[in-house]
């Protein structure tokens, strides 16, 4: 009987053979390649062979906002087709992306608290997909559990078409016969229902297919979902064209314009995993903002609100405005802060969001302000540039008080748990694991009670790991026995950990009962099973 653990080990062993001729700096580990970190990020850079554009020569653009196909008294209905499309990213060439509506990033969905959103996704790609609304308080069957596949036409069942990649296989320790995830397997189209009874926040949606999240997000399956409420709208923050989403990613380009990814199986149909060199993570050498390499944005001398999202597979950023003002942080992953915070720089790991206001009112026409990445080098140290081209009236403001957030206390916690994110070995095969175990669809690592607060200690070993938990927002209690870090304020769903560090968080399990996942948001680690399930009971 083929088991998921056997399949995982076979895949890692195959990738080790594929990369056996490579040499890298770092700690060599038999059977799984080196653990390496580059530019303060876990992983290795995959270099482009295409001629990349000069920074700040291409115009900035904002992703289109998707209009609902219909509305009723309670609900907004949307339709999105996932399809391949040829788009222009590099000048004078085309790049095939796998995109929501055939665009990269996908279209932005804008929602409001008190109205349900139903998004009908249609899969016209050659492989299964899964959609996760990152940061959404979502029922388990609509959350994007990794095995809840949306199959394209012609894929009759996961047993027929993904037996080699572990879908619906049996695990050594659990009988998963007939297992079909939390929400089940759908054919061609699926309705994702989002109640969105949660505060205003910068959310995003992306692919979450078991074993293949990394390559499918790399190819373009990511988009913004901006959620509003009355409290946020009454603050007087910048709105309209001055409320700007910034999706920051890194990619690599081949001479033909394609975005190569070091998959063992480039078709993404059977064998999952990456070649040995990239087990720690895949880093690109071209920085994109909203799908544009190092763009130039023309701005007025006013305040702007920027929704900054790190949607990279493995790259972390330390952002700073060179020759510009400080960042005024007004929100985190889960929504508004109690009060604004001022930062000269922002450390942002994969999947984190920072909602900031940048006040350009003291700048003159002609001034240039560059968003730089102090973790980068030789091109990856640059992100985008703003040039002030005009003056305009500005009636926006940043009030001293933003939201009345409840502050959790350690005394609120009814259970304490510890989870270690590390690379482990089984029979000489290296795997990314949680508490020494690779992910399986039916194993349960924790059963928190609905409405309860738990204290979780998350430890990172070997390299850096960004921790993300579905459904349940959390507050950071402390780092390495000390106070929270400078970027830990507010309700979060993702938190960064340096190698060897630990973070204590207070997690509140509200909204829905059912099975969800938590995992490393280095997508290569996630695909190699650094993930675990929990069930809210």
* pLDDT given at position 1: 32
The answer to whether 351 touches 334, Cβ cutoff 8 Å, is no
Report the percent of the chain where pLDDT is more than 70.
89
Residue 429 pLDDT grade (very low, low, confident, very high; cuts 50, 70, 90): confident
Give pLDDT tens digits for 122-176: 999 999 999 999 999 999 999 999 999 999 999 876 544 443 334 333 333 333 3
pLDDT band at 8, cuts 50/70/90?
low
Q: Domains in the chain, please, with CATH?
A: 57-233 (2.60.40.420), 410-536 (2.60.40.420)
Segment 89-100 shows an average pLDDT of 98
Q: What CA–CA distance (Å, rounded) separates 316 from 354?
A: 13
Residue bearing the bigger pLDDT, 19 or 415: 415
Angle (CA) 521 104 439, round 5°: 25
- What pLDDT, on the 0 to 100 scale, is given for residue 215? 98
Rounded CA-CA distance 123/81 in Å is 6
Contact by Cβ (8 Å): 537, 449? yes
Expressed in angstroms, the distance from the first to the final Cα of the chain is 32
**Cis peptide preceding 105, ω within 30 of 0:** yes
Q: Name 71's Cβ contacts closer than 8 Å, sequence gap at least 6.
A: 77
Which are the contacts of 197, defined by CB distance < 8 A and separation ≥ 6?
113, 114, 137, 511
Quick one: pLDDT band at residue 177, thresholds 50, 70, 90? very low
What's the whole-number mean pLDDT along residues 423-448? Answer: 89
């Amino acid at each position: 009987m083929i088991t998921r653990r056997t399949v995982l080990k076979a895949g890692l062993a195959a990738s080790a053979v594929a990369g056996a001729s490579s040499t890298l700096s770092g700690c060599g580990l038999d059977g799984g390649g080196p653990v390496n970190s580059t530019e303060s990020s876990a992983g290795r850079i995959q270099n482009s062979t295409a001629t990349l554009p000069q920074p700040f020569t291409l115009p900035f653009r904002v992703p289109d906002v998707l209009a609902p196909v219909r509305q009723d008294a309670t609900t907004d209905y949307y339709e999105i087709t996932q399809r391949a499309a040829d788009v222009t990213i590099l000048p004078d060439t085309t790049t095939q992306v796998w995109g929501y509506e055939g665009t990269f990033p996908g279209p932005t969905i804008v929602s409001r608290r008190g109205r349900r959103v139903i998004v009908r996704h249609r899969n016209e790609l050659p492989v299964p997909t899964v959609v996760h609304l990152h940061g959404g308080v979502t029922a388990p069957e609509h959350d994007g559990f990794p095995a809840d596949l949306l199959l394209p036409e012609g894929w009759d069942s996961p047993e027929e078409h993904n037996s080699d990649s572990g879908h619906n296989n049996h695990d050594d320790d659990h009988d998963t016969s007939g297992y079909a995830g939390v929400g089940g397997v759908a054919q061609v189209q699926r309705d994702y229902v989002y109640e969105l009874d949660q505060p205003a926040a910068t959310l995003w949606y992306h692919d979450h297919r078991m074993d293949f999240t990394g390559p499918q997000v790399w190819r373009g399956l990511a988009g913004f979902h901006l959620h509003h409420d009355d409290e946020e709208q009454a603050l007087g923050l910048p709105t309209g064209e001055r409320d700007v989403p910034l999706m920051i990613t890194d990619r690599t380009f081949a001479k033909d314009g394609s975005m190569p990814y070091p998959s063992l199986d480039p078709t993404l149909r059977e064998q999952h995993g990456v070649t040995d060199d990239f087990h720690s993570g895949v880093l690109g050498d071209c920085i994109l903002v909203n799908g544009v390499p190092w763009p130039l944005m023309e701005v007025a001398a006013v305040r702007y609100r920027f929704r900054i999202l790190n949607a990279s597979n493995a790259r972390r950023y330390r952002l700073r405005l060179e020759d510009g003002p400080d960042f005024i942080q007004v929100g985190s992953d889960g929504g508004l802060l109690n009060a604004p915070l001022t930062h000269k720089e922002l450390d942002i790991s994969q999947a984190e969001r920072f909602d900031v206001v940048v006040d350009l009112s003291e700048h003159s026409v002609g001034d240039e302000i560059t968003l730089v990445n102090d973790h980068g080098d030789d091109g990856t140290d640059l992100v985008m540039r703003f040039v002030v081209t005009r003056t305009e009236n500005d009636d926006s403001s940043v009030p001293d008080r933003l939201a009345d957030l409840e502050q959790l206390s350690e005394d609120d916690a009814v259970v304490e748990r510890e989870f270690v994110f590390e690379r482990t070995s089984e029979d000489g095969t290296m795997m990314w694991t949680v508490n020494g175990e690779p992910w399986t669809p039916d194993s349960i690592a924790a059963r928190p009670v609905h409405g309860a607060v738990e204290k979780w200690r998350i430890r990172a070993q070997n390299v850096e790991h960004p921790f993300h938990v579905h459904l349940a927002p959390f507050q950071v209690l402390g780092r390495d026995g000390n106070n929270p870090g400078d970027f830990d304020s507010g309700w979060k769903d993702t938190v960064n950990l340096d190698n060897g560090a630990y973070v204590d968080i207070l997690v509140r399990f509200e909204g829905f009962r059912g099975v969800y996942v938590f995992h490393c948001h280095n997508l290569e680690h996630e695909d190699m099973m650094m993930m675990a399930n929990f069930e809210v009971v």
